[in-house]
Amino acid sequence: MNYHHRNINGQQLDLPLGKVVCVGRNYVEHARELNNPVPSEPILFIKPATTLVPFSTPIDAQGAPYPLHYELEIAILIKDTLKNATAEEAKAAVGGVGLALDLTYRCVQSKLKEKGHPWEKAKAFDDSCPTSEFVINPNIDLDSLALKLEINGEVRQSASASEMIVDIVSLLQYASTHFSLVPGDILLTGTPAGVGVLKSGDALVASLDDVISTSTQVV
């Protein structure tokens, strides 16, 4: 594994690698595009540290056993332990803001959902969480962050954090009531509408406001 948490200058951050806590169906239109009900409370699942790779790492679609689907998400890096956190504690524990792809075997996920089984086989495979560098800014407005994904020059996903069903600070609070979030953990905050399958030769460019622009390609 060659992934380390880094800032936007490429400097390695003094935080260990932890788990990735993911939120499902946090945008109404994404839930609808997959014919899923809009949840009444956050849906959480976890990717282990072995899923983390730098965002620029080429994505091997041909070597994957199933079609790979992309889901771009805002990533929140945790710097302090959170357990039953208040809103103030949750906001203060944000150590950085970045982007990540929640790569998914959609056909596997669909079968697991039909059986009422966990999603990890579809979501937690090695290298399934390409992650960008992080912006370190304690004053950043988490509710106004905008993410965008272009594939081969065409905008596929574009949304603001203001469109989330549950806002970022509340997600941190909610997750911390079920298990501790510790330094080095990452929270993925859900993907907007526009998800789809990756094809060999695809060129991906992801951006977060005007502070992060990162790219990768499918081989």
Does residue 190 carry a pLDDT above 70?
Answer: yes
Q: Rounded mean pLDDT of 151-179?
A: 97
Domain ranges of the chain: 20-217
pLDDT of residue 87: 98
Q: How far is 144 from 179, CA to CA, in rounded Å?
A: 27
Does residue 112 carry a pLDDT above 80?
Answer: yes
pLDDT of residue 187: 98
pLDDT in tens, 30-60: 767 767 777 889 999 999 999 999 999 999 9
Which among 45, 43, 136, 48 has a CA at the least distance from the CA of 94?
Answer: 136
pLDDT of residue 142: 97
Which among 47, 175, 31 has a CA at the least distance from the CA of 101?
Answer: 47
Q: How far is 131 from 68, CA to CA, in rounded Å?
A: 16
Q: Is 87 helix (H, G, I), strand (E, B) or coil?
A: helix
pLDDT of residue 40: 86
Q: How far is 205 from 153, CA to CA, in rounded Å?
A: 8
- Report the 10 Å Cβ neighbour count for 178: 12
Does residue 178 carry a pLDDT above 80?
Answer: yes
Work out whether strand 94-101 and strand 72-78 pair parallel, antiparallel, or are unpaired: antiparallel
Token digits of residue 96: 């950085």
Right CATH for 20-217 from 3.40.50.300, 3.90.850.10, 3.40.50.970, 3.60.21.10: 3.90.850.10
Question: Is there a contact between 19 and 47 (Cβ–Cβ < 8 Å)?
Answer: yes
pLDDT in tens, 55-68: 999 999 988 999 99
pLDDT in tens, 12-32: 999 999 999 999 989 987 767
Does residue 1 carry a pLDDT above 70?
Answer: no
Does residue 150 carry a pLDDT above 80?
Answer: yes
Query: In which element (H, E) is residue 114 found?
Result: helix 106-115
Question: Is there a contact between 41 and 25 (Cβ–Cβ < 8 Å)?
Answer: no
pLDDT of residue 205: 98
- Sequence-distant (6+) residues with CB within 8 A of 210 are none
Q: Rounded mean pLDDT of 110-132?
A: 94
Average pLDDT, the chain: 95
